[in-house]
Amino acid sequence: MINYNRLDGVDQNTTVQWFNAAGDNISEDASLEVRAPGTYSATVSKYGCTLDTEAVTLEGEPDSLYVPNVVTPNADAINDFFEIQGSGINRFDLVVFNRYGRPVFEANDLSFKWDCNVSAGIYFWRITYVGCNEAVREWKGWVQVMP
């Protein structure tokens, strides 16, 4: 989601109309919240003068995740942390479970680093997030913590 509000000088004497690529009037607010890729433009009127902005094309970034399946927290500076890389991710939630189904780690920020302060073994994780198209997605998997 992008909030496009780069129109300067907008006040109570200004009218703004936002249009999509098909020319449909999609909003009359001073700012536009964009939830989908596309081409957008605005017509701004103030004191009888009208200005058509240049069209802006916004390309969508597909959501993606990279989740490692092995972590070696042995302080050698290689794979010492369980961390996930991703893009196009909103409202991220991660829960890591032990083999008995008990949560051992939770995070709600994609930039987390877990030091894996648990016994060696296989741990199961569940990730829930909202992608760039506002769809809720869930991933499940496992990570092996090795000494």
Are 85 and 51 found together in one domain?
no
Are 71 and 140 found together in one domain?
yes
Domain count for the chain? 2
Are 42 and 90 found together in one domain?
no
- HSE-CB at 33 with a 13 A cutoff on CA atoms is 3
Are 81 and 41 found together in one domain?
no
Q: Sign of the C-alpha dihedral, residues 94, 98, 99, 102? A: negative
Are 84 and 25 found together in one domain?
no
Are 40 and 99 found together in one domain?
no
Q: How do residues 31-86 score in pLDDT, each as one tens digit?
A: 787 767 788 888 988 888 888 888 888 776 677 889 999 999 998 988 899 999 98
Q: How do residues 89-140 score in pLDDT, each as one tens digit?
A: 889 999 999 999 999 999 999 999 999 999 999 999 999 999 877 789 999 9
Residues near 108 by beta carbon (within 8 Å), at least 6 away in sequence: 92, 93, 94
3-state secondary structure of 39: strand
For residues 101 and 70, what is the distance between their CA atoms, to the nearest angstrom? 19
Are 139 and 73 found together in one domain?
yes
Question: Of 58, 80, 102, which one is at a domain's C-terminal end?
Answer: 58
The pTM of this model reads 0.62
Are 123 and 73 found together in one domain?
yes
* CATH number, domain containing residue 114: 2.60.40.1220
Are 7 and 34 found together in one domain?
yes
User: What is the extent of the structural domain holding 75?
Assistant: 64-145
